[in-house]
Amino acid sequence: MATTTVYLPHLASEDQKTGSSRAVPLPEIPPIAGNGFAILTNGWTGWYVLSDHLAKRLKDAGARDVFVVEREQISNGAMRPDDDQFLDDLAAKVSGAIAGLGNCGSCTSWSCSDSLQLERRGVRSGHVCVENFKYIASAVAKAQDQGDHPIVVLPPKANEMSSDELAKLADKILAELFKLEPTS
């Protein structure tokens, strides 16, 4: 059979990321006690409740500071380009960070990007999204050559869960990201 040679509609090699290489070393998981942590929020109601649980658990475990940061404070908008200065300042104060919630398409790509940006600044950071959007989070991480960036996947309706259910998810997040054992 004859062969036809065609072009593919994108460039080769370094211009299309595969996530197989790593742009920066993955920071070590910091001990909770004595360190600062940040929780980045972006407006989802359930994530506010979950953030409260996360902050309490981190403080109970001896965290020095826990900063719960509104995404709007970072960049004047939930889905806007990163504010480098703000992330620099935050990274100077914390050793660990949790960015969420990926509960829609663009909020996933932007909150995951925040997490990736903090990791690039030496912060052990993880992104949290619901099941429906884990593919986007993974794609964004791969595109930035941080394909093994920690991503915690929650059930699809996590944003609508009760406070008790969200408390259990807080345990799951902290166990996956910082190896903090659940309280019960």
CB of 108 to another protein, least distance (A): 7
- Answer yes or no whether residue 16 interacts with another protein by CB under 8 A: yes
Q: Which tokens sit at 95?
A: 């050793």
Of the two residues 101 and 180, which places its CB atom closer to another protein in the complex? 101
Q: Output DSSP code: residue 146.
A: B
6 binds another protein (CB under 8 A): yes
Distances from the Cα of 166 to the Cα of 93, 155, 171, 183, angstroms: 27, 11, 9, 14
Residue 132 or 176 having the CB closest to another protein? 132
Instruction: Single out the segment in contact with another protein by CB under 8 A; choices: 20-28, 103-111, 150-158, 175-183.
Output: 103-111
User: What is the spatial distance between Cα 35 and Cα 53, in angstroms, rounded to a whole number?
Assistant: 18
Q: Quick one: DSSP state of residue 88? A: H
Instruction: State the Cα–Cα distance between residues 182 and 12, nearest whole angstrom.
Output: 45
As given in the structure block, the two tokens for residue 66 are: 């826990």
DSSP β-bridge partners for residue 127:
99, 151
In the complex with another protein, the residue whose CB is nearer, 4 or 85, is 4
For residues 29-68, which are near another protein according to CB under 8 A?
43-45
φ and ψ of 75, to 5 deg? -145, 25
Q: Please, which residue, 145 or 150, has the CB nearer to another protein?
A: 145
Which of 133/178 has CB closer to another protein?
Answer: 133
Residues that bind another protein (CB under 8 A): 1-13, 15-17, 43-45, 70, 72, 76-81, 104-106, 108-110, 113, 132-133, 135-136, 139-140, 143-144, 159
